[in-house]
Amino acid sequence: MVSKKSQEPQSLPTLADVARVANVSTATVSRYLNGNEVLRPATAKRVSAAIDSLGYLPHGAARALASRQSFTLGAILPALNNQIFAAAAQAMQERLDSEGYTLLIANSDYSIEREFKQLQSLIQRGLDGVLLVGQSHSKALYHLLAQQQIPYLNSWVFDPHSPHPTLGFDNAEGARKITRYLLDLGHRRIGMIAGLQQSNDRAAARVTGVREALQERGLALLPAQLREAPYTITGGRQAFADLYHTSADLTAIVCGNDILAMGAIFECQRLGLEVPGDISITGYDDIDIVADMTPRLTTIHVPAEKIGQRAAEDLLQQISGEAARHSIYLDAELMVRDSCAPISDRAEGK
């Protein structure tokens, strides 16, 4: 029979327990944990051994109160099921690990209102800095960051003229690059499947980039040649099906991200269309799978890992008292693969 006493949970070790085992004062243990004072090597070794033997974990709130830091950064991402954001978060966490920081991740689901609520929640838990995506944020969010004096970065964008610090690439330029590539292959009837532009300045900038590249050659992106869709396989399939039935003369489609492009290619296969024999399709992001699918997707490589790493480094510098680097530019490279081909007589004559 199990005794009642054995069923009771054991109390967690305290700071006083560590001090007793190490034969030092609680103040000495606190100094060791906060790193505010260098202890004698023998003393530090005893405290470290006591912490390990007891399994002691310092109370985060108490540590934050003593140091005026929570040793926690936040990242509010538009989606957690998108590999490109997951890659950035992982790189950010790996960089923060070496500095003893924790990363808290929240999902805004592309909602400005939800993003603000997520920021409030993170701040209540203790936050030293935060990574945001894009620049389409509420005035209330920016006011809260200023009020709480919390360092932040707008990522996935590069805008040297913004009043806010930015870290990333030029979304419009990436779209211009890939559209110019299609134009150089001889395509003139080019459509686009974009992400939903509302509350998504990156999606809007990519549409702008396509428009501008076409205008350079005396062409236009007509309303009938543009569809918006959620960043899902189904969204890409449905958008392509609609475009194909209303603008069947298109010879190339620029997609706002790789997931939309994959959906478009799957729909082509259902309709019996060859990619790139009948139609060329491009993506944007360069997630892992698109280099191995059939056909291999021509796309824009987004430097997600670099964004995560540089975000961690810049926010840590701000926390240490250094001024933020206002605009950090990272290149988004065109990746030419198999999903595009020069315009053929067959495609041109459709």
For the cut 70, the answer to whether the pLDDT of residue 165 exceeds it is yes
- Return the CATH fold of 12-66: 434 Repressor (Amino-terminal Domain) (1.10.260)
For the cut 60, the answer to whether the pLDDT of residue 65 exceeds it is no
Pick the range with the lowest mean pLDDT from 42-56, 220-234, 267-281, 301-315: 42-56
Token pair of 164, please?
A: 């806010």
Q: Cα(72)–Cα(128) distance, rounded to whole angstroms?
A: 6
CB 284 within 8 Å of CB 299: yes
Token pair of 236, please?
A: 């890409």
pLDDT given for residue 58 in this prediction: 66
For the cut 90, the answer to whether the pLDDT of residue 84 exceeds it is yes
pLDDT given for residue 54 in this prediction: 83
Express each pLDDT in 124-144 by its tens digit.
888 899 999 999 999 999 999
Maximum mean pLDDT: which of 121-125, 145-149, 172-176: 172-176
CATH class of 67-169+303-331: alpha beta
> Residues with Cβ < 8 Å from 30, sequence gap 6 or more?
15, 66
Compute the average pLDDT of residues 138-154.
Answer: 92
Compute the average pLDDT of residues 75-92.
Answer: 95
Pick the range with the lowest mean pLDDT from 34-38, 41-45, 118-122, 171-175: 34-38
Whole-number percent of the chain with pLDDT over 70: 90
DSSP 3-state of 131:
strand
Q: Cα(230)–Cα(106) distance, rounded to whole angstroms?
A: 20
- Quote the DSSP letter at residue 222: -
Compute the average pLDDT of residues 265-284.
Answer: 97
pLDDT given for residue 237 in this prediction: 98
Average model confidence (pLDDT) for the chain?
Answer: 90
pLDDT given for residue 8 in this prediction: 42
For the cut 60, the answer to whether the pLDDT of residue 94 exceeds it is yes
Q: Give the other-Cβ count within 10 Å of 215's Cβ.
A: 11
pLDDT given for residue 26 in this prediction: 87
CB 211 within 8 Å of CB 204: no
Compute the average pLDDT of residues 58-64.
Answer: 54
Q: Give the other-Cβ count within 10 Å of 17's Cβ.
A: 17
CA distances 35 to 74, 87, 178, 230, Å, are 23, 32, 51, 48
Residue limits of CATH 1.10.260.40 in the chain: 12-66
CATH class of 171-302+335-348: alpha beta
For the cut 80, the answer to whether the pLDDT of residue 121 exceeds it is yes
Strand partners, 282: 254, 298
E strands, the chain, in order = 72-77, 102-107, 129-133, 152-155, 166-168, 190-195, 226-229, 252-255, 280-282, 299-301, 327-329, 333-335
Residue limits of CATH 3.40.50.2300 in the chain: 67-169+303-331, 171-302+335-348
Residue environment code for 302-323, b if the CB has 16+ CB neighbours within 10 A, otherwise e: bbbbbbbbbbbbbbbebbeeee
Compute the average pLDDT of residues 87-104.
Answer: 94
- The interaxial angle of helices 15-22 and 41-54, nearest 10 deg, is 130
Compute the average pLDDT of residues 146-170.
Answer: 93
SS3 content of the chain, % helix, strand, coil (to 5): 50, 15, 35
pLDDT given for residue 63 in this prediction: 52
Backbone angles phi, psi at 11, to 5 degrees: -70, 150
pLDDT given for residue 125 in this prediction: 82
pLDDT grade for 70, boundaries at 50, 70 and 90: confident
Express each pLDDT in 4-54 by its tens digit.
444 444 566 788 899 999 999 988 888 888 766 678 889 999 998 998 888
